[in-house]
């Protein structure tokens, strides 16, 4: 049975706006990491991953996730793109990054370098090459 996904149609040309935002989040994450701001670096890594994924699904299928459950984007990517073995590895990494979102954003504790390393290692290369 196919999953019901909350998604919305987006004009394909808008993919680049999401990509630029993702690059900015990623750059900010690297800057905060270097400044030893572990929690904010981790939050920005998560947001970079979300924006990169939105850019990818918009470019490939003119859709993006519209739900509050960011984990659903995994299913949207699977429905929107043909995935190679390497892509599936990247998608698994995305799932791990998204799993950190609630912890780092709403957990109420400051992340350590070890936790920031875990989040950033999962996103050490761009999730997608657009």
| Bridge partners, 7 (sequence order) | 65
The token duo for 66 is 């519209």
Do 65 and 11 form a contact (C-beta atoms < 8 A)? no
Question: Which CATH code, of 1.20.120, 1.10.287, 3.60.15, 1.10.10, is assigned to 12-122?
Answer: 1.20.120
pLDDT above 90 for 53: yes
pTM: 0.84
- The 8-class DSSP code of residue 64 comes to E
- The 8-class DSSP code of residue 27 comes to H
Alpha-carbon dihedral of residues 20, 26, 31, 32, nearest 10 degrees?
A: 130
pLDDT above 90 for 120: no
Q: What residue spans define the domains of the chain?
A: 12-122
Tabulate helix, strand, coil % of the chain (nearest 5): 70, 5, 25
pLDDT above 60 for 3: no
């Amino acid at each position: 049975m196919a999953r019901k996904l909350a998604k919305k149609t987006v004009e394909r040309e808008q993919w680049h706006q999401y990509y630029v935002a993702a690059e900015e989040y990623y750059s900010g994450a690297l800057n905060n990491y270097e400044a030893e701001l572990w929690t904010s670096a981790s939050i920005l890594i998560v947001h970079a991953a979300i924006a990169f994924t939105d850019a990818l699904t918009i470019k490939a299928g003119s859709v993006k996730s519209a739900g509050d459950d960011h984990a659903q984007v995994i299913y949207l990517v699977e429905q929107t793109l043909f995935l190679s073995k390497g892509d599936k590895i990247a998608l698994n990494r995305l799932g791990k990054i998204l799993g950190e979102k609630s912890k780092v954003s709403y957990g109420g504790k400051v992340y350590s370098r070890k936790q920031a390393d875990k989040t950033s290692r999962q996103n050490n290369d761009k999730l997608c090459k657009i």
